[in-house]
Amino acid sequence: KILLDIHDLHASIDGKEILKGINLTVREGEVHAIMGPNGSGKSTLSMVLAGAPGYSVTEGTVDFHGKELLELSPEDRSHEGLFLSFQYPVEIPGVSMVNFMRAAVNEKRKYFNEAPLSASDFLKLMRQKRAIVELDNKLASRSVNEGFSGGEKKRNEIFQMAVLEPRLSILDETDSGLDIDALRIVAGGVNKLKTDRNATIVITHYQRLLDYIKPDFVHVLYKGRIVRTGGPELALELEEKGYDWIKQGENIQD
Ligand code: ADP
Ligand code: MG
Ligand code: MG
């Protein structure tokens, strides 16, 4: 069953076209990797899907399980089951993770006309999800991301993902890269939370992460277009040959 269907998506920043006609179909149960050289538009794609301000969509449609994603507010996209890692990168002093997550869970329930969770049901949910991502109780009681290490922030993010149970998670791992610890946390969480009803898009410059998260499809984004699609072997080929191979093979106009 198709979960996300991106059709001829064009988007600009400050009048400059960055995405030049993206087509991508993601079905339930699938893991897609999007790779590509720096500056190709990978992060722009995830920001546009999340509805971040400053990006204008000039053409195209994005069907998200039967709804036009681009017409929904960023909050409603999240309620409808879209999760973007780095969605909550901010530190929120004085607001514990637990209270933050309570608000997030109850906002979503409200969207679906459901009553807020009782305190005991919420704590039960927290315990259950904490166990999945091996997040200790101390971290959950601390203020959101305040003074968290890189690894703790990642664990926290995967915890949010576990609690919100998104239908589609987009993980944009910035090019700065994750240390091996953070990599294991992210991959372990993604693999544990994978079901045949949800899907994941992993955006990465490096093949490394794909040693831990096995993609069903690998796409290469270059100059705002998907120029290659293949299986996991495509990531290995890229690792071996580098992106110059793609650049030389493509006669792409700016
Ligand atoms: P990637 O994630 O693949 O490295 P990005 O989506 O970050 O690529 O960037 C794609 C292009 O958009 C680059 O040319 C970059 O300079 C430009 N760009 C990204 N963000 C902004 C911004 N906020 N303002 C202007 N240009 C931007
Ligand atoms: Mg970049
Ligand atoms: Mg990027």
Which atom of ligand 1 is found nearest the CA of 44?
A: 6
**What's the CATH number for 2-249?**
3.40.50.300
pLDDT of residue 132: 81
Which residues surround the ion ligand 2 when the cut-off is CB under 5 Å?
Answer: 38, 175
| Annotated domain spans of the chain | 2-249
pLDDT of residue 88: 46
Query: pLDDT for 119-146, tens place per residue?
Result: 999 999 999 998 887 777 777 777 777 7
Ligand 3 geometric centre to CA of 250 (Å):
21
Query: pLDDT for 169-194, tens place per residue?
Result: 999 876 555 777 778 888 888 899 99
Query: pLDDT for 201-216, tens place per residue?
Result: 999 887 888 888 999 9
Q: Supply the residue whose CA is at minimum distance from atom 24 of ligand 1.
A: 13
In DSSP notation, the chain reads -EEEEEEEEEEEETTEEEEEEEEEEEETT-EEEEE--TTSSHHHHHHHHHT-TT-EEEEEEEEETTEEGGGS-HHHHHHTTEEETTSS-S-EEEEEHHHHHHHHHHHHHHHTT-PPPPHHHHHHHHHHHHHHHT--HHHHHSEETTT--HHHHHHHHHHHHHHH--SEEEEE--TT---HHHHHHHHHHHHHH--SS-EEEEE-SSSGGGGTS--SEEEEEETTEEEEEE-HHHHHHHHHH-THHHHHH-----
| Pocket residues: Cβ below 6 A from ligand 1 | 13-14, 18, 36, 38-44
Q: Is the pLDDT assigned to residue 91 strictly greater than 70?
A: no
pTM above 0.90, yes or no: yes
